[in-house]
Amino acid sequence: MEEDVDHRVPVLIVGGSLVGLCTSLFLGRHGIRHMLVEKHSGTSKHPRGRGINVRTMEVFRVAGVEEAIRQAASVLADNHGILQGGSLTGDDQEWLFKEIDAGGAIARFSPSTWCLCSQNDIEPVLMAVTPTLGADLRFSTELLSFEQDDTGVTALVKNRETGEHSRVRADYLVAADGPRSPVREQLRIGQSGPGDLFHNVSITFRSRGLAEVVGDRRFIVCYLTKPGADGALLPVDNEEKWVFHAPWHPDQGETLEEFTDQRCADHIRRAIGAPDLDVEITGKAQWHAAERVARHYAVGRVFLVGDSAHEMSPTGAFGSNTGIQDAHNLAWKLAAVLEGAAHPRLLLTYEAERLPVARATSERASARSAEHSHPGYAPAPGAAGAAGGRQGGVLSVAMGYRYTAGAVVGGDAEQPVVPEQMRLTGDPGSRAPHMWLRRAGERISTLDLYERSFVLLSAEGTRWGRAARRAAARLDMRLEAYEVGTGPDAGLLPEEDGGDWAEVHGTTPEGAILVRPDGFVAWRSPKGEADPEPVLYEVLSALLGRTGD
């Protein structure tokens, strides 16, 4: 099987939409050669999946694409909040929330902030970068079948333009092939959750007159609730390009063919409350909101990411962000195993960490749809929104979640996956704290340190840094050790009024904290050690699945 192949790569990615391209980006940043196959001829053309949360923007920041994405999103940079009303012309509108970060809380936790960038705008940014990082991107190429054995995966793919078939041999396969994932089906992985929530037809249209109706209300989305004319209005350029999500009821026998241009235009006019509005329909696409989570995220050498692993209600944009963070979690682990630093047991922690996050997040997404009375969504009797109100808890879901089991030493398994309050204080399993530092005169966030290697932070003059480098050398793994302080030997200088680094990280000046390549705390010691090298060697061995080797 291994000899009769046309291509050999460490990783084969199936699916070239947002999450598949992000998987490519993160593997490329780790120096892992890979091939991506996508059955469609190009990236998405329909505006969708626009909300990029803070944690995802942090990931993009470290991966070097944050500014390019913000540039691609510049036309909607001033759009904030969610508006709701019977129409846009009546006097019954109310802001569900007007500012994403009205109190400026995000700056205390992160060097980044939210971003509004449609999938059709962000994917070309990723497409421009990933080939420079060693990606072999093959669009119009469909996965036909795959088989795995003890040493790898052999896939049969077809070029849909030429009809040519070829065999690809990979060490691992990552399936980013969407909610109807053929890979998941072949693996016979079942799903849990309520299933379908509601169905919409997403309508793109042009209207020069709508900008005047909207006025200075720069919303992310406006939920329009007039009976028989409800839906969601989203700006594309705030001038003449717009999207309208109209409820669709296939369970009642309603077909897509019934959504004619005339029907769509009339529905939009009624919903907005402007019967003479100019409306030119430019496109239609069906989409289904659902709450489903795969019962397993991997079988052998094949892994699920994104919609193949979980579907979520669109309210809050949790689905795509969770998928991107799946890819980020998996990429460093694949890199560590492929480079020989980690035992393949490390890959078992992908499911252990990400599946509970998806379950908790999908529940929150559905609760948020209920809180916002999302058009078309009728929650089950007795269902209620999560505690905290219409905007409460969103930041905790986006960046405060934690891994209670997995590649973490010293985590608290009794803690909830998503805490009620934000707590980013260096607890093992949580996203490492943000604080501003100076490194060689450059202002950086602590989060900028975490990407390609483990990082150990300790105070200047302690024994931790040297011990960490020795332990890492014995394990032949990547690790950077930084000493924090104000003296000549310190590699990191805290900014004035930035807080004490040890207090921020929940340790003491004699202690240390170890952070994984994905920016999550792997382990923390609150005290010093007379001989820290064997302690660190044992911790790193456990994290890499090498205990007992």
Q: What is the pLDDT along the chain (549 residues), one digit of tens a residue?
A: 456 899 999 999 999 999 999 999 999 999 999 999 999 998 877 777 778 999 999 999 999 999 999 999 999 989 988 999 999 998 889 998 888 776 778 999 999 999 998 888 999 999 999 999 999 999 999 999 999 999 999 999 999 999 999 999 999 999 999 999 999 999 999 999 999 888 999 999 999 999 999 999 999 999 999 998 999 999 999 999 999 999 999 988 998 899 999 999 999 999 999 999 999 999 998 888 889 999 999 999 999 999 999 999 887 778 899 999 999 999 999 999 999 999 999 999 999 999 999 999 999 888 776 665 566 666 655 544 433 344 447 888 999 999 999 999 999 888 899 988 888 999 999 999 999 999 999 999 999 999 999 999 999 999 999 999 999 999 999 999 999 998 888 999 999 877 899 999 999 999 999 999 999 999 999 999 999 999 999 999 999 999 866
Is the C-alpha dihedral spanning 225, 226, 232, 238 positive or negative? Answer: negative
Q: Say how far apart CA 367 and CA 386 lie, in whole Å.
A: 6
Q: Say how far apart CA 95 and CA 216 lie, in whole Å.
A: 13
Name the region of 361 (left: φ>0; alpha: ψ -120 to 50; beta: rest). alpha
Q: What is the pLDDT of residue 307?
A: 95
Q: Say how far apart CA 33 and CA 295 lie, in whole Å.
A: 29
Q: What is the pLDDT of residue 498?
A: 74
**CATH number, span 436-543:** 3.40.30.120
Which among 110, 113, 139 is positioned nearest to 24, based on CA atoms? Answer: 139
* Angle at 193 (CA atoms; ends 189, 199), nearest 5 degrees: 105
Cβ–Cβ under 8 Å, residues 197 and 375:
no
Q: What is the pLDDT of residue 222?
A: 95
Q: Say how far apart CA 43 and CA 131 lie, in whole Å.
A: 15
Q: What is the pLDDT of residue 380?
A: 57
Q: What is the pLDDT of residue 1?
A: 45
The β-bridge partners of 483 are 458
Give SS3 for 256.
helix
Q: What is the pLDDT of residue 392?
A: 46
Neighbours of 497 (CB within 10 A): 6
> Could you tell me the two tokens for 47?
């505006």
Domain with CATH 3.30.9.10 in the chain: 192-290
Q: What is the pLDDT of residue 429?
A: 97
Domain with CATH 3.40.30.120 in the chain: 436-543
Q: Say how far apart CA 263 and CA 270 lie, in whole Å.
A: 11
Q: What is the pLDDT of residue 339?
A: 97
CA 28 from centre of chain: 17
Residues 6+ apart with CB under 8 A from 352: 403, 405, 406
Q: Say how far apart CA 246 and CA 229 lie, in whole Å.
A: 8
Q: What is the pLDDT of residue 385?
A: 42
Residue 323, H or E segment: helix 318-338
Residue 265, CB-side half-sphere exposure with 13 Å CA sphere? 14
The β-bridge partners of 523 are 514
Q: What is the pLDDT of residue 218?
A: 92
Which among 3, 26, 30, 29 is positioned nearest to 13, based on CA atoms? Answer: 26
CA 38 from centre of chain: 20
Fold of the domain built from segment(s) 192-290: D-Amino Acid Oxidase; Chain A, domain 2 (3.30.9)
Q: Say how far apart CA 43 and CA 48 lie, in whole Å.
A: 12
Q: Say how far apart CA 160 and CA 154 lie, in whole Å.
A: 19
Strand locations in 176-297 (E) = 191-206, 221-224, 231-235, 241-248, 280-294
Cβ–Cβ under 8 Å, residues 118 and 48:
yes
Give SS3 for 37.
strand
Which among 479, 467, 446, 448 is positioned nearest to 532, based on CA atoms? Answer: 467
Q: Say how far apart CA 545 and CA 166 lie, in whole Å.
A: 35
Q: What is the pLDDT of residue 499?
A: 82
The highest-level CATH class for domain 7-77+113-191+293-399 is alpha beta
CA 417 from centre of chain: 16
Q: Output the pTM of the full model.
A: 0.93
Q: Say how far apart CA 160 and CA 166 lie, in whole Å.
A: 12
Residue with token string 């949580």 = 430
Which among 437, 474, 454 is positioned nearest to 333, based on CA atoms? Answer: 454
Which among 153, 179, 177 is positioned nearest to 167, based on CA atoms? Answer: 153
Question: With DSSP H G I counted as helix, E B as strand and the rest as coil, what are the percentages for the chain, rounded to 5?
Answer: 30, 25, 40
Which among 446, 432, 456, 430 is positioned nearest to 512, based on CA atoms? Answer: 456
- Per the document, the length of the chain is 549
Cβ–Cβ under 8 Å, residues 24 and 34:
yes
Cβ–Cβ under 8 Å, residues 241 and 204:
yes
Q: What is the pLDDT of residue 377?
A: 61
Is the C-alpha dihedral spanning 266, 269, 275, 280 positive or negative? Answer: negative
